[in-house]
Amino acid sequence: MTITLEIQKTDVQNATGVVGLLEALSSEMSIAAVSCGHLDSALGQLLEVVPLESRLKVMQELHMVDMLAQHITAITDFTSGLASSMAAEGEPDIDAALARITLGDVAARLRETLKAA
């Protein structure tokens, strides 16, 4: 099943504006993913000095930060894919952008949300 997103193209500037917006979002999300990596590293260093009885809690938080970083990366890849297809074809290729997402749950949720829209 192919998912399409209708965008009214009144002129090339409109499409270019959407591409710029998607590229900016992708860039900001990429910065957020890097920040998650730094947070993950800091928590890893804390884990080394935390008493044994508290390590499980820190490990759980490390896991949550890792999941957040993966989720941000998935959205970054999706947004970047939309921008690329808009720039090349003048319209977003939703299926190709979804295929760039390596987290199946995120891709499935986006697919369902976009179908309902």
Confidence band, pLDDT 50/70/90 cuts, at residue 3: low
Residue 6 belongs to a domain: no
Report pTM. 0.79
Residue 92 domain-assigned?
yes
**Residue 87: φ, ψ to 5°:** -65, -40
Which single residue is written with the structure tokens 């970047």?
80
Q: What is the pLDDT of residue 97?
A: 96
108: in domain: yes
Q: Which range of residues forms the domain containing residue 106?
A: 12-116
Within a domain: 73: yes
Is 89 within a domain? yes
Give the C-alpha separation, 14 to 51, whole Å.
Answer: 56
Identify the pLDDT of residue 94. 94
Q: Is residue 2 part of a domain?
A: no
Tell me which residue of 30, 15, 36 sits closest to 82, measured CA to CA.
15
Cβ-proximal residues to 8 (8 Å cutoff; 6+ apart), any chain: 14
Domain count, the chain: 1
pLDDT for residue 112 is more than 90: yes
**Cα dihedral 16, 114, 85, 90 sign:** negative
> What does each C-alpha distance from 74 to 17, 33, 79, 81 come to in angstroms?
23, 10, 9, 11
